[in-house]
């Protein structure tokens, strides 16, 4: 028979392991009921043997009595603020400063979500949690150990051979779903509700009574290190991996990039997915990955020089949900849209917000008639953050997601292992319209004059039902369309003809292949050089390309080997659409002839007539230059189009050379000596 003390230790280890599976790996191995039974068994044994209760036992998360006051604690390693910016140009300026200080050596950039919570420092000695302190003024904070011990995903003892001393920096936060629950409980008790998760977190973490804090269900993400002895990690990414092994929850969705532009692009993708998060984020944190470089960069009196916060403005409003309707996207995804009682938000009146997918409606329990919190962050479309369930005074029906396409009535299918529900019909009129609109958009094939209303007419009259139909259009086909005179028709046909020369990256973007956006399209185009080479490769070879991975590879492979997809490509090729990548050819021949913009930093501003912004940036990179968004004394020259504005003024003030679009083209034709 197992001795009571051995059984106590066995239960503690088992509970700690299940906490790790649930909070760190997000992969629970037992049910909530089974977990509760383990905890009750431990509580019962400890009540029988109180002499064996230890401070790091899972039962000791709530103190017995309030503390008298919060003691002040000095940070031995100051918790400095992070420099903030709200625009990409200043992020580039930050990166330029880093490059200058490091002598132009290679830098890896880490991108993290900036959690909207309360910054804390956690101290572990010999693997045991001994103290937690607020940031305070960065040099002195408040001891909140009693409250931090109540946070379920903060391990009281670390796993996997932690160092003797480890001070971890992190953020205490509250999930939106827990705020919904808390406000419902507050309403039932007749008490005031809380406005947002950050206010609850900031107030709760400083309570003297930890029993109240425990009821708030606060959570933790870790993202940095203060003092330590015995740490061997050389990079931030290695450190985060060790945090997870120790049992600490690291900030999610973190990635590392060799180029700043890639990091910023990933940041934009994260912002577009804010609706998926059950916690609040108010920006991105971009930091140097290698610790040795951070040490050399050091800090000013206020900020570390190796990190910047790229923030976005966030606005919230509360309004009532009048209806939920669904629309069909370019890949057939059925997207639910919230029809709202109009409400002022960020200088505009918002009456619609995306609900994204059926699972989100279910997860947030969104019902017609509910009062909802609507948020707009940065330039993304408004989305519903949470439902004010405490205001649901009468029963409301759950939303029933449609089983058939609202446009063509095909039976809808759900992605295997995914959240999207789609119409599988290639000839669905709504899908065709969305695909053609996207194909013609500026960051795809950039067909000037092919707007939304014109696409509606072309598809409704069955003049255009696929991409290749665009390249077969004649002036006579356009005569019957509203507001389409001879000049407009000629301009449109010229725009369509010009789009044939956009190249492989733009075409891949335009084809609406799932998971393929502008960045992925550019990576694929440069790697393979032609659409035929891409089709001739295996799915495994596609997956091995940097930045691609198995999910994107499977989607691309499926499109290129689907009879409908490949027939579309062949039709476009036959009509003269370029399916090759000129930048790859240039890179392959760069050893034979000098690139014309080698080592030069170039800013493009204003409206251009021959290039989209993406095209001219790609051309600059193709010729060895670096396209940046901010003008400085280090800028080699700027290319100024119409309405150039403040960047042109700054270039003139700094004496930076200014080229017109024609002069830029002439420079490329003449070569380096012309500069």
Catalytic residue at 114?
yes
Q: What angle do CA 261, 266, 268 make, to 5 degrees?
A: 95
Helix (H) or strand (E) holding 668: helix 661-670
Tally the C-alpha atoms within 13 A of residue 70's C-alpha that lie toward its C-beta. Answer: 23
Task: Please give the backbone phi and psi of residue 418, each rounded to the nearest 5 degrees, phi first.
Answer: -120, -170
Cα–Cα dist 435/22, whole Å: 41
Buried b / exposed e along 448-468 (16+ C-beta atoms within 10 A): ebbeeebbbbbbeeebbebbb
Strand order, beta sheet including 128-134: 128-134, 118-125, 165-173, 219-229
Q: Which three-class secondary structure state does DSSP give residue 116?
A: coil
| Helix, strand, coil tally for the chain in percent (to 5) | 40, 20, 40
Helix (H) or strand (E) holding 309: strand 307-311
* Catalytic residue (choose from 114, 287, 330, 431): 114
Tally the C-alpha atoms within 13 A of residue 392's C-alpha that lie toward its C-beta. Answer: 21
452-460 vs 429-440: helix axis angle to the nearest 10? Answer: 140
Q: What angle do CA 117, 122, 128 make, to 5 degrees?
A: 140
Can you give the length of the chain in residues? Answer: 675
Closest CA to 521 of 610, 438, 628: 438
Q: In angstroms, what CA-CA distances link 443 with 508, 516, 522, 571?
A: 11, 13, 12, 22
Let me know: does 585 contact 610? Beta carbons within 8 Å. Answer: no
Let me know: does 446 contact 614? Beta carbons within 8 Å. Answer: no
* Ordered DSSP codes for 405-468: -TTT-PBPEEPTTSS-EE---TT-HHHHHHHHHHHHSTTTT--TT--HHHHHHHHHTTS-SSHH
Closest CA to 378 of 471, 264, 486: 264
Radius of gyration in angstroms for the set of CA atoms belonging to the chain, rounded to a whole number: 29
Helix (H) or strand (E) holding 566: helix 563-574
Closest CA to 146 of 208, 90, 103: 208
Which runs of E-coded beta strand occur in 102-232? Answer: 109-115, 118-125, 128-134, 140-142, 165-173, 219-229
Catalytic residues: 114
């Amino acid at each position: 028979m197992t001795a009571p003390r051995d059984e106590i230790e066995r239960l503690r280890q088992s509970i700690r392991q299940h906490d790790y599976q649930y909070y760190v790996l997000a992969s629970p191995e037992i049910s909530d009921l089974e977990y509760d039974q383990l905890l009750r068994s431990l509580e019962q044994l400890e009540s029988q043997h109180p002499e064996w209760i230890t401070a790091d036992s899972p039962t000791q998360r709530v103190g017995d009595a309030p503390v008298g006051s919060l003691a002040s604690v000095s940070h031995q390693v100051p918790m400095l603020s992070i420099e903030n910016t709200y625009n990409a140009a200043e992020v580039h300026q930050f990166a330029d400063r880093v490059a200058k200080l490091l002598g132009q050596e290679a830098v890896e950039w880490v991108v993290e979500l900036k959690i909207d919570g309360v910054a804390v420092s956690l101290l572990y000695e010999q693997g045991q949690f001994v103290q937690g302190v607020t940031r305070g003024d960065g040099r002195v904070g408040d001891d909140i150990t009693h409250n931090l011990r109540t946070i379920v995903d903060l391990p009281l003892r670390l796993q996997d051979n932690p160092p003797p001393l480890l001070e971890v920096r992190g953020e205490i936060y509250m999930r939106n779903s827990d705020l919904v629950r808390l406000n419902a409980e507050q309403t039932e008790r007749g008490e005031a509700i809380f406005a947002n998760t950050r206010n609850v977190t900031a107030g709760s973490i400083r309570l003297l009574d930890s029993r109240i804090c425990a009821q708030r269900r606060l959570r933790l993400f870790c993202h940095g290190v203060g003092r330590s002895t015995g740490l061997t990690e050389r990079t931030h990414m290695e450190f985060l991996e060790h945090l997870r092994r120790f049992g600490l929850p690291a900030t999610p969705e973190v990635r590392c990039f060799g180029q700043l532009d890639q990091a910023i692009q990933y940041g934009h993708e994260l912002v577009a997915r804010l609706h998926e998060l059950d916690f609040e984020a108010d920006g991105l944190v971009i930091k140097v990955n290698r610790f040795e470089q951070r040490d050399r960069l050091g800090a000013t009196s206020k900020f570390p020089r190796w990190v910047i916060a790229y923030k976005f403005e966030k606005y919230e409003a509360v309004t009532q949900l009048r209806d939920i309707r669904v629309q069909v996207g370019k890949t057939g995804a059925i997207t639910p849209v919230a029809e709202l009682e109009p409400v002022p938000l960020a200088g505009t009146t918002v009456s619609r917000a995306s609900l994204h997918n059926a699972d989100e409606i279910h997860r947030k329990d969104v019902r017609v008639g509910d009062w909802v919190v609507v948020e707009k962050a940065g330039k993304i479309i408004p989305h519903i953050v949470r439902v004010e369930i405490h205001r649901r005074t009468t029963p409301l029906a759950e939303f029933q997601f449609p089983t058939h396409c609202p446009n063509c009535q095909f039976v809808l299918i759900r992605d295997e292992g995914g959240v999207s529900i789609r119409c599988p019909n290639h000839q669905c009129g709504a899908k065709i319209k969305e695909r053609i609109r996207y194909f013609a958009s500026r960051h795809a094939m950039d067909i000037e004059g092919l707007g939304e209303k014109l696409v509606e007419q072309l598809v409704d009259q069955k003049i255009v039902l696929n991409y290749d139909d665009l390249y077969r259009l004649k002036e006579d086909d356009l005569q019957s369309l509203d507001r389409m005179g001879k000049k407009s028709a000629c301009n449109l046909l010229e725009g369509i003809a010009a789009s044939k020369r956009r190249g492989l990256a733009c075409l891949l973007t335009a084809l609406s292949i799932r998971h393929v956006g502008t960045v992925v399209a550019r990576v694929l185009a440069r790697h393979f050089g032609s659409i035929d080479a891409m089709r001739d490769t295996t799915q495994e070879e596609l997956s091995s390309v940097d930045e691609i991975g198995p999910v994107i590879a499977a989607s691309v492979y499926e499109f290129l080997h689907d009879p409908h997809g490949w027939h579309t490509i062949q039709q476009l090729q036959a009509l003269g659409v370029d399916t090759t990548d000129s930048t790859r050819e240039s890179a392959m021949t760069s050893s034979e002839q000098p690139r014309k913009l080698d080592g030069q930093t170039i800013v493009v501003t204003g409206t251009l007539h021959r290039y989209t912004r993406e095209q001219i940036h790609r051309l600059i990179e193709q010729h060895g230059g670096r396209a940046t968004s901010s003008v400085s004394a280090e800028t080699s020259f700027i290319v100024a189009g119409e309405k150039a504005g403040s960047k042109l003024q700054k270039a003139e003030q700094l004496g930076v050379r200014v080229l017109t679009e024609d002069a830029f083209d002439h420079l490329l034709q003449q070569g380096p000596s012309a500069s």
